[in-house]
Amino acid sequence: MDQIIKGVKLRLYPNRGQKDKLWQMFGNDRFVWNQMLSMAKTRYQNNPRASFINGYGMDTLLKVLKNEYPFLKESDSTSLQVVNHKLNQSFQMLFKHRGGYPRFKSRKATKQAYTGKSKVSVVAKRCLKLPKIGYIKTSKTNQLVDTKIKRYTVSYDATGRYYLSLQVEVPAPELLPKTGKVVGLDVGLADLAISSDGVKYGTFNAKWLDKQVNKWQSAYAKRKYRATIAVRQWNHNHKTVKEELNDYQNWQRARRYKARYQAKVANKRQDNLQKLTTELVKQYDVIVIEDLKTKNLQKNHHLAKSIANASWYQLRTMLEYKCAWYGRQLIIVKPNYTSQICSSCGYHNGPKPLKIREWTCSKCGVHHDRDINAAINILHKGLKANG
């Protein structure tokens, strides 16, 4: 039976001792990254013609580092190898001019994580056994039945919660029955997706959550500013006992509340996209979408937040893997002139401002809804390209 790789995310509930171990392992990964990056940087400064030490060379240096810094032995050894692999990838992207120079990692970063490749076993319905950590409480592990765990990542995010992300190998799902239907999709802001059949799929509603995010973002900024002023005044007046910003908990509490509401918005958006893409894949054999460059579109500061909130790239990604799983075909076409061409006669009616949502073809006289007309043109392009 064919196998596929999918991701599973679980909530972790570590006790106090396990939290200390997790933070030690977060720190060890960060320490190895910074040490390897520093050595690579120094090596280049001393001899620019020296060959770059790849991931395997870094793994060899790990033995020396562990002898010099015994605390590194408290980490899962595979997690330190993953750090070297990621650093090597960052340099390879730099050499191909597809990324910037790797940066040093800070212990003050909001999100901390480490990734390992050792064996993770399911002990009970809500319990797993992690390398170097032992038995740890989790959320439900029903999703891990009949799976093979390939890689795991333990993370701590801004909400103050611990998560376990697993890369698992599972049997491929059964192919969906053929429906004989095809559809073109035009994405938008007022409506997330508009089909060539005339159906408009709206965006999710999170007005109350957005209001809470703005409220706590404002509270966080004000509290942190007041704490910063208080720290400076104290340190100016007291030369022996110094304070740090982290000694003030009020602004950190606001940061956690802000992060949790932001996470709720993200989860609601994710849930909406999952339901929409599953519905589309069940209904249509062929789905045609436009290849939008969201990074370029977000340069418009008036629409950047709305475009980011629509998550067009996530929609495309979900359609890609779900079509691959269930035997559907996804066609991606260029969006050029799809809003300007009449889908009835093919006449090019010229560019139109965004505020014009309906228009009439000057040649054949057919009245069009701008978005539905674009979706039909996208479908025609996809079917033509596919032969």
Please tell me the distance from the alpha carbon of residue 197 to that of residue 188, in angstroms, as a whole number: 16
CA 309 to chain centre: 13
Q: 141: Cβ–Cβ under 8 A, 6 or more apart, which residues?
A: 10, 122, 124, 125, 126, 127, 128
C-alpha angle with apex 281: 275 to 287, nearest 5 degrees? Answer: 120
Q: 153: Cβ–Cβ under 8 A, 6 or more apart, which residues?
A: 113, 114, 115, 116, 164, 165, 166
Distances (CA, A) of 354 to 184, 196, 220, 312: 20, 19, 36, 18
Tokens of 133: 């950590």
Token pair 């170097």 in the structure block, residue: 132
Q: How many CB atoms lie within 10 A of CB 21?
A: 18
Tokens of 309: 């909130």
Catalytic residues: 186, 290, 371
- In this structure, the dihedral spanned by the alpha carbons of residues 294, 300, 305 and 310, taken in order and rounded to 10 degrees, is -40
Phi, psi (degrees; rounded to nearest 5) at 220: -60, -45
DSSP 277-336: HHHHHHH-SEEEEE---HHHHTTSTTTHHHHHHHTHHHHHHHHHHHHHHHT-EEEEE--T
Closest CA to 187 of 307, 350, 274, 358: 307
Residue 373 exposure: Cα atoms within 13 Å on the Cβ side: 24
Q: 309: Cβ–Cβ under 8 A, 6 or more apart, which residues?
A: 203, 269
Phi, psi (degrees; rounded to nearest 5) at 277: -65, -35
Helix locations, the chain, DSSP H: 16-46, 55-68, 77-95, 207-237, 250-283, 294-297, 304-310, 312-326, 370-385
